[in-house]
Amino acid sequence: MLLRLVAEVAGEKVAAANAAEKTKVLKRIVRYHLDGAEGRQKVERWVPRWLGFPASAYTHRGGNDAIGVRDGAESAQAPEPDPDTATAPLQHAA
């Protein structure tokens, strides 16, 4: 997942070139790009996907409860009634 962060912040080429590096190096690459340090172009207003809106994941398995809750809530919503076939409110009460 850290390589996905590097790819987002520094680009796919940088991530591919550093794929075999240790976590410490990858974290430093991300930090340098976010800060604009060591001659790198500064990345403004970046947030990880799980903190964005709407939240998303870096992997197929997810791992973010907010994504599952959002997807579950969307599927649990009642469908909109068809205005052509819907009965008027209190029509059956009389």
Contact 14, 6 (CB under 8 A): yes
**DSSP secondary structure string for all residues of 73-91:** HHHHSPPPPPTTTPPPTTT
pLDDT in tens, 24-55: 999 999 999 999 898 888 888 888 877 777 77
pLDDT in tens, 10-19: 999 999 999 9
CA separation for the pair 23, 27 (Å, rounded): 6
CA separation for the pair 35, 38 (Å, rounded): 9
| pTM of the predicted structure, to 2 decimals | 0.57
Which pLDDT score is estimated for 45?
A: 85
39 is written with which tokens? Answer: 């001659």
Contact 33, 43 (CB under 8 A): yes
